[in-house]
Amino acid sequence: MGARRRRRGSVGRGGGAGGPRDRRTAPARCDGPDRRGPPTGLRPSRPRHLSEAPVNTSHTTATGPAAAGQADHPAVVAEGVTKRFGRTVAVDHLDLALGRGVIGLLGPNGAGKTTLLRTFATVLAPDAGQVRLLGLDPARPTERLEIRRRLGYLPQRPELYRSFTAFEVVEYVAILKEHTDRRRRAAECRRVLELVGLADLMHRRVRTLSGGMQQRVALAASLLGTPDLLVLDEPATGLDPEQRLGLRSLLAETASHGTVVLSTHNTAEVAALCTTVVVMTQGAVVFAGTPAELTALAEGRVWESEVQEHVAARSWMTASGTYRHLGTLPVGTEAATPTLDDGYLLAVRGIR
């Protein structure tokens, strides 16, 4: 049953770069709305008005209403969502509502982040519960097509047909998203390739591009049509510091008019960019709130010393050679300033 649903969700019609495997006709092997690809090498100053794009200002809680300016509904609503793979429960009766802004999804490996994002991208259908995206029901074929037209998705591991050019890959996705006017479609493909810094390489064949460049091709495809909902699975993989800054600017611009949901292991990116943080473990949400609220979980629960202390819930050695501890503060010990990492570790361990 899982395979059947995966095929149904992976039709490359709206949100993705899927389709037939014939290399003469299908440039991107991209699991339908899935398989768009992580970014690499962005052009930091490319998006328009990036200096004016608000970062970390328009907070929308993960359980509150959509931000002002959106429709009355949140962009993403999950109610009792469960997804199993055999005996493994990847997502377990999850409830979540997300409005406008950049939402960072944190969690250890195996927490269910990728499965949840694939559900939000209409690649997977839940085994139980309901998902609504942009006010529409992806379980209904006509509404699913509309979602895919308005959705951009970047999977964790994109696969592109190596015999096609970067432009052909992006144009194929544009055709699937029903950009029917040839001139406008070509202009849009050039626009998104320029956004990711590939304007000069758009006619190079994928097989001649570096891995990072191929990832940028996939990112460009996810940006087609200025999506209302952009779903990104570890988008900063492989980016150097300058390229990460470009990604931040690009996502801030997108979030100014829509919703960006991204998974990451980089808490620094979350602190710099995200308006909302969702922490998952074992298929469930254990925290949803602002980065400041996640950091506040560790207030009065962090201290440092010269030796490892076994009374701590978690201890590790820092770069300076001292030990940092999380847990109940020992009597007479001065608390250290908490970080987002500290709050995240406490949330994952269920310590409140």
State pLDDT tens for residues 265-287: 999 999 999 999 999 999 999 99
Q: Which residues pair with 263 in a beta bridge?
A: 105, 233
Residue 89, classified by CB atoms within 10 Å of its CB into exposed (0-12), middle (13-18) or buried (19+), is: middle
pLDDT in the model for residue 169: 95
Residue 289, classified by CB atoms within 10 Å of its CB into exposed (0-12), middle (13-18) or buried (19+), is: buried
Our CA dihedral for 18, 23, 24, 29, rounded to 10 degrees, sits at 10
Whether 304 and 318 have beta carbons less than 8 Å apart is answered as yes
d(Cα 225, Cα 11) in Å, to the nearest integer? 19
E strand spans, 295-348: 302-305, 314-317, 323-326
Residues in the chain: 352
- Domains along the chain with CATH numbers: 2-54+110-272 (3.40.50.300), 295-348 (no CATH)
Measure Cα distances from 88 to 27, 85, 92, 110, 115 in Å.
Answer: 33, 5, 10, 10, 12
E strand spans, the chain: 28-29, 76-85, 88-98, 101-106, 128-133, 151-154, 159-160, 229-233, 259-263, 276-281, 284-289, 302-305, 314-317, 323-326
Tens of pLDDT, residue by residue, the chain (352 residues): 444 444 333 333 334 444 334 433 443 333 333 333 333 333 333 333 222 333 333 333 344 333 334 445 799 999 999 999 999 999 999 999 999 999 999 999 999 999 999 999 999 999 999 999 999 999 999 999 999 999 999 998 888 889 999 999 999 999 999 999 999 999 999 999 999 889 999 999 999 998 888 888 999 999 999 999 999 999 887 777 887 888 889 999 999 999 999 999 999 999 999 999 999 999 999 999 999 999 999 999 999 999 988 889 999 999 999 999 999 999 989 999 999 999 999 999 987 6
pLDDT in the model for residue 72: 56
Token representation of residue 87: 């005996």
Pairing of strands 259-263, 229-233: parallel
pTM: 0.77
3-class secondary-structure state, position 270: helix
Whether 274 and 292 have beta carbons less than 8 Å apart is answered as no
Measure Cα distances from 14 to 147, 205, 217 in Å.
Answer: 7, 24, 17
